[in-house]
Structure 1
């Protein structure tokens, strides 16, 4: 049975809420990670990404309210000190159960009337899978903050929902020139023989913690990596991976109206095991 509870950060403590109306708020920053039996992968990187996103969002809002650029923001550090996102993070980590499977999400919300709200959604983990079918998103890129997780969550859900009637579980975002950037809810990596490839770094996308962990593993193992600009058609014959905090590494078994993909037997299982070996207690 799925379980979700909402906790608000106020007065230096988390307060469970029986009901919380979020209709007058927007998500400015968010992060989520998979917890199983009290362990998580690269939680420090999730912490680093979330705290950086909170700082960016608060600074950006202060600049907007001041009518200037981010560098002209008026005392955003005062707002950050009042929020105490570090204390919120530590408190959120502490309340996550050490048994069972969970998929908590922390959020920085901006109120329509002004001000900020830090929220923890303590959610039981959805069903996980080892494979996924993808489809290219053919419309305009709806992302407003492509390098920050949070503001575009609703838009990404809309993209994934839009490709589901075609039999896909994930939508792939392309540049205006047709190059592969990322999935709506995932990073993408692919294998050319024994070389592990990724999209060009200049293609704006969320800094995936799972992809960073896999690439760090590759570096430690001496596996060659390469960044390239590719269209879907140019991925024909490659082994394509979809990576996310919830599922870890999934193999892309098919691309709707796209390239035929391949799989080297045993490679997915080996790398999923390597990634799981990096899990540490909360």
Structure 2
């Protein structure tokens, strides 16, 4: 049952060297730099994204993911989901509007895998970069690198996949579209979507909590990333199941541009 979560909205990534990271995400991946704040964080977006940013880079001593945010339909939905998260037993932190530039208040919570997630309803919309909404051009003429269109999803490692699945399904309204099962029936990988994409977030079973594998970005053509692919999902579809000894075949068909560090 859908609960009002729209899509992945932003990810804050810890990087070891800001200059090198900006050159990678902006000049190679092709994201658009939109702002910097007094904490030294750099804000970026894909050119088709209407919100002001989807990626925030923060320089730190260790690489990884600080948090992944999902956008919800309204402030009323945000408040309702806050209550459901608390009832589920999640640790809740209220982040005031403006802590991220031009973003409204956020509700942060920790999943059983040890990862921090947050929900928000409002963010300044700057429109699609270089084209607008009135008599738009097909694409901007000054894009760099791989011309990434949008932030797509994250792959995360951690324990307690079953409890995390309950959280994302029952509280946030995600669907399970693919999974990897062991012969004894344990789910060791799960791919979850809140819409019709192949997945909006994926989890791999791992004993250490809170691990970050990659952030992924959508590219327009096969030529952009040599060969890639994907699938679609509707709520009445059965999840695709991969046997653990065949799991390596589950990953090459993804339209993934792996840009994060495995930490």
Q: Same fold (TM over 0.5)?
A: no
> Larger C-alpha radius of gyration, 1 or 2?
1
Which has the larger helix fraction? 1
Per the normalisation by structure 2, the TM-score is: 0.30
